[in-house]
Copies of this chain bind each other. A is one copy, B any other.
Amino acid sequence: MIDSSLLSSFRAKRVLITGGLGFIGSNLARALVEAGSEVVLVDSLVPEYGGNLANVEGLEGAVRINISDVRDEHSFRHLIRDQDILFNLAGQTSHLDSMVDPFTDLEINCRSQLSILEACRHHNPEVVVVFASTRQIYGRPQFLPVDEGHPIAPVDVNGIHKAAGEWYHLLYSQAYGIRVSVLRLTNTYGPRMRVKDDRQTFLGSWLKAVLSDEPLTIFGDGRQQRDFTYVDDAVQALLLVAARSDAWGQVFNLGGERPVSLLELAQVLVRVRGGGNYQLVDFPRDRKAIDIGDYYADYSKIRDGLGWQPEVPLEEGLARSLSFYGEHGEHYWNADI
> Interface on A for B, CB 8 Å cutoff?
99, 102-103, 106, 110-111, 114-115, 118, 149, 151-157, 160-161, 163-164, 167-168, 171, 174-175, 289-290
Q: Check if A160 sits within 8 Å of B171, measured CB to CB.
A: yes
With known contacts A164-B161, A168-B160, A174–B151 Cβ distance under 8 A: no
List B contacts of A99 (CB < 8 A): 175
CA distance A45 to B171 in the complex (A): 30
CA distance A151 to B152 in the complex (A): 7
By beta carbon, the residue of chain B nearest A154 is B167
CA distance A149 to B153 in the complex (A): 11
A168 touches which one: B149, B157, B289 (CB < 8 A)? B157
A163 touches which one: B103, B164, B174 (CB < 8 A)? B164
Top 3 A-B pairs ranked by shortest CB distance?
Answer: A175-B289, A160-B167, A164-B164
CA distance A110 to B165 in the complex (A): 13
With known contacts A160-B167, A167-B154, A171-B160, A111–B118 Cβ distance under 8 A: no
| 18 residue pairs from A and B, CB less than 8 Å apart | A102-B118, A106-B110, A106-B111, A110-B110, A152-B153, A154-B167, A155-B171, A156-B171, A156-B175, A157-B171, A160-B164, A160-B168, A160-B171, A161-B164, A163-B163, A163-B167, A164-B164, A175-B289
A324 CB to closest chain B CB, in angstroms? 36
List B contacts of A175 (CB < 8 A): 99, 156, 289-290
Q: Check if A289 sits within 8 Å of B174, measured CB to CB.
A: yes
List B contacts of A153 (CB < 8 A): 152
Known: A160-B167, A174-B289, A175-B289. 20 other contacts (CB 8 A): A102-B114, A102-B118, A102-B168, A103-B111, A103-B114, A106-B110, A106-B114, A110-B110, A151-B151, A151-B152, A152-B152, A154-B167, A156-B171, A157-B168, A157-B171, A160-B164, A160-B168, A160-B171, A161-B164, A163-B164
By beta carbon, the residue of chain B nearest A153 is B152
CA distance A294 to B171 in the complex (A): 19
CA distance A175 to B158 in the complex (A): 14
